[in-house]
């Protein structure tokens, strides 16, 4: 599409109307205009700007020879390309961007500015220094060349503005490109390099993930081992605590009184019925022997006490405290008791011990104080 004149149409003469009918050009025969476009009619050797609303009977519409559609958009972008030599066999392509605005559409149509691009190329080519700027640069130095070309073109457009009839033109910027085959080769090179970097990156990422997985697995095993060791230590500590508690209970039980050790001996866990029976039999024999020894000890003590009393009576008789008859009767009594006081054989564990007879018992005084005294 051309710019700024989008379209130009030659108008056919309007056919004669019937008598007394007012001639009118059909509006549908005119080009359609968008909101940013205006119609310019060529009429009677001049140009007339058409209104937004047309009836078809206006003179410049009814008798117009042609009509042009002009783009009135503000800052319409226009791009041109020029080639400049490089230090090698290939040329750089300089792409210059402009912002164009139609200020007076009638002047634009009268000047025949149907396509502004050609005028802008002529305007840029008038700056001869531009075509020598690339001779000191290779194709790989496009960026450095861009800085120089941009500065020079901006200065040129500022000092020497582009003068087009009915339009204002402003410099918008530029780009510098290497030839298409060079650009394609560089794109292929950069694509290959990117793919290589991507493959290396993938391998590096995979190695890193594998390494992270190994480290995580080692951390897991290390933590698991520590947990197992902690559990073992805790279990051992609990066993020690339980053993200490059990030992304390056993110690307290053993200190609870006589026979506790024997009872504990017979109730040791893990014994069979025969072992338990044997241990109870052993305890019974031990108890029987202990009881027999206790009875023997009591008998011996009783004999000693009786002999002591007999010695007291004999001393009293020798001192004349008893008459001879009474003293002999008492001595006979002691002899009978001593003879009958021999230990009896025990038949079993159910044996009941004889009650102990001591000198202090109330029922065992064989003589009163007054008898001793005569």
Q: Where are the domains of the chain?
A: 5-71, 76-178, 181-236, 273-372
Cα three-residue angle 26-31-35, rounded to 5 degrees: 115
Question: What is the CA 243 to chain-centroid distance, rounded?
Answer: 44
Place of tokens 């130095």: 141
User: Which tens digits make up the pLDDT trace of 5-32?
Assistant: 999 999 998 877 666 678 889 998 999 9
pTM of the model: 0.51
Secondary structure class of 373 (helix, strand, coil) = coil
239-269 b/e (C-beta count within 10 Å ≥ 16 → b): eeeeeeeeeeeeeeeeeeeeeeebeeebeee
Which among 288, 307, 304, 303 is positioned nearest to 345, based on CA atoms? 288
119-133 b/e (C-beta count within 10 Å ≥ 16 → b): bbeebbeebeebeeb
Phi-psi region of 170 (alpha: psi -120 to 50; beta: other; left: phi over 0): beta
Q: What CATH number does the domain located at 76-178 have?
A: 3.30.479
Q: Are 267 and 253 in contact (CB under 8 A)?
A: no
Q: DSSP string spanning 311-365?
A: HHHHHHHHTTSS-HHHHHHHHHHHHHHHHHTPPPPP-STTPPPPPP--TT-GGG-
Q: Mind listing the pLDDT tens digit of every residue in the chain (374 residues)?
A: 799 999 999 999 887 766 667 888 999 899 999 999 999 999 998 999 999 889 888 999 999 999 999 999 999 999 999 999 988 888 999 999 999 999 999 999 999 999 999 999 999 999 999 999 999 998 888 889 999 999 999 999 999 999 999 999 999 999 999 887 555 656 676 787 778 888 888 888 888 888 888 888 888 888 888 778 877 888 888 888 787 887 777 667 666 665 566 565 556 666 676 766 776 677 777 777 877 888 888 888 887 877 787 777 777 777 777 666 776 666 676 665 555 555 444 444 444 444 443 444 444 444 444 444 43
- Which CA distances in Å does 130 have to 38, 110, 150? 37, 32, 10
Report d(CA 345, CA 337) in Å as an integer: 18
């Amino acid at each position: 599409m051309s710019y700024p004149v989008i379209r130009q149409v030659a108008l056919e003469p309007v056919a004669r109307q019937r008598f007394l009918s007012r001639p009118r050009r059909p509006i549908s025969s005119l080009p359609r205009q968008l909101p940013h476009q205006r119609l310019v009619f060529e009429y009677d050797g001049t140009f007339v700007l058409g209104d937004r609303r047309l009836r078809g009977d206006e003179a410049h519409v009814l008798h117009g020879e042609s009509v042009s559609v002009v783009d009135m958009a503000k800052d319409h972008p226009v791009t041109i390309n020029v080639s400049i030599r490089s230090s090698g066999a290939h040329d750089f392509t300089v792409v210059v961007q402009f912002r164009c605005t139609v200020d007076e559409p009638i002047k634009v149509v009268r000047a025949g500015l149907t396509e502004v691009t050609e005028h802008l190329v002529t305007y840029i080519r008038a700056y001869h220094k531009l075509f020598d700027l690339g001779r000191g640069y290779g194709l790989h130095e496009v960026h450095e060349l861009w800085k120089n070309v941009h500065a020079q073109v901006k200065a040129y457009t500022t000092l020497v503005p582009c003068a087009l009839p009915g339009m204002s033109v402003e410099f918008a910027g530029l780009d510098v490109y290497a030839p298409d085959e060079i650009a394609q080769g560089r794109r292929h090179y950069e694509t290959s390099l990117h793919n290589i970097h991507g493959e290396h990156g993938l391998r590096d990422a995979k190695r890193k993930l594998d390494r992270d997985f190994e480290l995580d697995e080692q951390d897991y095993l290390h933590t698991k081992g520590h947990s197992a060791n902690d559990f073992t230590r805790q279990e051992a500590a609990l066993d020690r605590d339980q053993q200490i508690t059990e030992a304390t209970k056993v110690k307290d039980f053993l200190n609870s009184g006589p026979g506790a050790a024997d009872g504990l001996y017979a109730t040791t866990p893990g014994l069979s019925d025969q072992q338990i029976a044997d241990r109870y039999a052993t305890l019974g024999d031990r108890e029987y022997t202990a009881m027999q020894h206790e009875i023997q000890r009591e008998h011996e003590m009783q004999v000693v006490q009786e002999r002591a009393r007999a010695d007291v009576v004999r001393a009293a008789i020798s001192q004349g405290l008893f008459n001879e008859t009474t003293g002999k009767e008492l001595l006979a009594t002691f002899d009978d008791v001593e003879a009958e006081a021999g230990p009896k054989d025990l038949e079993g564990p159910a044996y009941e011990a004889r009650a102990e007879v001591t000198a202090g018992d109330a029922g065992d005084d064989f003589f009163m104080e007054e008898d001793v005294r005569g």
